[in-house]
Amino acid sequence: MSESSLIVDLFCGAGGLSFGFKNQGFEVSAGIDVDESCRYPYEANIEAPFIRTDVSEVTSERLLELFDPHKIKILVGCAPCQPFSKYNQKNDDPKWKLLKSFGRLISEVRPEIVSMENVPQLMKFRDGAVIKEFINNLSGAGYYVSFDTLFAPNYGLPQSRSRLVLLASLLGPISLPAPTHENHYMTVRQALSILPPLKAGMVDEKDNLHRTGSLSELNLKRIRASSQGGSWHDWPEELVAECHKSETGKGYRSVYGRMKWDRPSPTITTQFFGFGNGRFGHPEQDRALSLREGAILQGFPQDYKFVPAGEKVHLTRVGKMIGNAVPVTLANAIAGAVKSHLKEYKYA
């Protein structure tokens, strides 16, 4: 596979999407991202150069330098998702325009294969105008396009996460990956029970990333009063926060809760290490998820490196990298679909 094609990953982050393609035997030329903190995990795990720059400033000439004219060009990426959130439908966040930068580079470089991953809300952003323009431009340039919202547990991810996935090809019709786990979802227990137990605020002596945030005495009482799949609605009145007692706060049920052992986890966000930020309480232990647990629920292998040995681990910085990543398990499936497509057209 590595002899016939080459990958460049835009908005590469810590390398989730690239790692999926690497797992499927693809050669990765480089990852491009504006966040310097992603350099170490990208280069350490993907073993390809990390180029720190704003994708909107990347020229077609620079991008072509990263490809080999004798190999199939595969351009992949996930433009920042936050601008397309349901909370940002009317904003003027310039980050959403990065999708246009992605489209510009496609039209100028004309890679044979394109893979784009994002949040499902992109389909509704500005009444769908942004994604429609993106797809129409691809179709007008001769690309065959397939896209849909994929439910990650259907592909073996132990996390209830849905993502918009688009594949496009100049070679011929291309299909999205077929589900592999529709009737047997991976669970939190299957993913996390191999890790040693921890108390809140502690670090595993053998894995510096298996560390948890501390909890106040009040939040310790709260998590001890929490059941799997429950929320603050289950607590005694004296433990309930004042903000949740108001009419506007009563609807926020998916915070301060424990995950269920025998179900996929809730969607992992950039704040998954905080008990009050969602249903991120460990199913049995009195704490929120550790960084390593969040990474595993995102499909990263247990030995994936995020911080150099001996360097201080910042919960917020590493949590952001993990929560923003393309889940590796889904990336594996996307890369597998591309691999099958290239085989179909005799390029692998």
pLDDT higher than threshold 60 for residue 82? no
Question: Does the annotation count 81 as an active-site position?
Answer: yes
pLDDT higher than threshold 50 for residue 87? no
- More confident: 254 or 101: 101
- The set of residues, in sequence order, having a beta carbon less than 8 Å from that of 131 and lying 6+ positions away, is 122, 123, 125, 164
Q: What is the pLDDT of residue 122?
A: 82
Distance CA 190, CA 222 (A): 26
Q: What is the pLDDT of residue 261?
A: 97
% pLDDT > 70, the chain: 90
Count Cα atoms within 13 angstroms, Cβ side, for 52: 7
- Give the residue extent of every domain in the chain: 5-180+327-344, 188-324
Q: In what order do the strands lie in the sheet with 50-52?
A: 50-52, 28-33, 5-10, 72-77, 113-118, 162-169, 144-151
pLDDT higher than threshold 70 for residue 265? yes
Identity of the residue numbered 303: D
Average pLDDT over residues 161-180: 96
Average pLDDT over residues 309-320: 95
Residue 246 banded pLDDT, cuts 50, 70, 90: low
Contact between 176 and 330 (Cβ < 8 Å): no
Q: What is the pLDDT of residue 264?
A: 97
Q: What is the pLDDT of residue 85?
A: 46
Q: What is the pLDDT of residue 123?
A: 75
* Lowest mean pLDDT segment, chosen from 49-63, 89-103, 233-247: 89-103
Q: State whether CATH 3.40.50.150 applies to domain 5-180+327-344.
A: yes
- More confident: 333 or 121: 333
Helix (H) or strand (E) holding 9: strand 5-10
Q: What is the pLDDT of residue 80?
A: 72
- The set of residues, in sequence order, having a beta carbon less than 8 Å from that of 171 and lying 6+ positions away, is 112, 113, 144, 341, 342, 345, 347
Nearest CA to 325 among 161, 156, 150? 161
Distance CA 181, CA 226 (A): 30
Q: What is the pLDDT of residue 98?
A: 80
pLDDT higher than threshold 80 for residue 253? no
Distance CA 318, CA 38 (A): 9
pLDDT higher than threshold 70 for residue 154? yes
Q: What is the pLDDT of residue 234?
A: 80
Q: What is the pLDDT of residue 146?
A: 97
Q: What is the pLDDT of residue 347?
A: 82
pLDDT tens-digit profile of 90-129? 445 555 578 889 999 999 999 999 999 988 888 777 666 8
- Options 12, 38, 81, 243, the catalytic residue: 81
Contact between 29 and 6 (Cβ < 8 Å): yes
Distance CA 68, CA 232 (A): 55
How would CATH label the architecture of 188-324? Answer: Alpha-Beta Complex (3.90)
